[in-house]
């Protein structure tokens, strides 16, 4: 028996900046400020690890430079699968990153997640 193919578009393809994001409990997390659809062929940047011009453990997004601002192993995974950047709460709040597989569905202008806010990656 052949597995069923998805009938709708990938949820991340339905997300646009300005949409509200809620976690698995329905609690509002913030607003989408960046959408990056994944590239399964995204290469992990190689370069000097110390000194001038070093990447200092970063995996830069070719489109934006330093995004996502997370540990290199998580950044590489996000660049391959896709991610959302959600604005941080309050004056000193750090932005959050939602990985593509953490999106349950998009309902009008709301992105519903499969995880709680505490499971999201915070910007470094």
pLDDT tens-digit readout, 21-72: 999 999 999 999 999 998 887 755 544 444 444 344 444 555 555 568 888 8
The boundaries of the domain holding residue 109 are: 11-122
Contact by Cβ (8 Å): 42, 80? yes
Residue 4 falls within a domain, yes or no?
A: no
Residue 94 falls within a domain, yes or no?
A: yes
Residue 103's alpha-carbon distances to 31, 58, 67, in angstroms, are: 14, 25, 19
Q: Helix, strand, coil % (nearest 5) of the chain?
A: 15, 30, 55
Tens of pLDDT, residue by residue over 88-101, are 776 667 899 999 99
Could you tell me the two tokens for 114?
């499969």
Residue 80 falls within a domain, yes or no?
A: yes
Number of domains in the chain: 1
Separate counts of helices (H) and strands (E) for the chain = 1, 7
Residue 6 falls within a domain, yes or no?
A: no
Tens of pLDDT, residue by residue over 2-15, are 444 444 578 999 99
CA–CA separation, 105 vs 112, rounded Å? 5
CA–CA separation, 96 vs 88, rounded Å? 6
CA proximity to 39, closest of 11, 81, 92, 93: 81
Terminal C-alpha separation, the chain: 45
């Amino acid at each position: 028996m052949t597995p069923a193919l998805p009938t709708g578009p990938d949820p991340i393809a339905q997300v646009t900046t300005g949409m509200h994001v809620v976690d698995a409990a329905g609690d509002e997390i913030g607003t989408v400020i960046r959408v990056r659809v994944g590239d399964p062929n995204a290469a992990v940047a190689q370069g000097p690890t110390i000194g001038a011009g070093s990447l200092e453990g970063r995996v830069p997004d070719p489109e934006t430079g330093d995004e996502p601002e997370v540990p290199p192993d998580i950044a590489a995974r996000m660049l391959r699968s896709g991610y959302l950047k959600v604005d941080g709460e309050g004056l000193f709040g750090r932005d959050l990153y939602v990985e593509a597989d953490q999106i349950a569905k998009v309902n009008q202008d709301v992105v519903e997640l499969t995880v709680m806010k505490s499971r999201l990656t915070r910007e470094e």
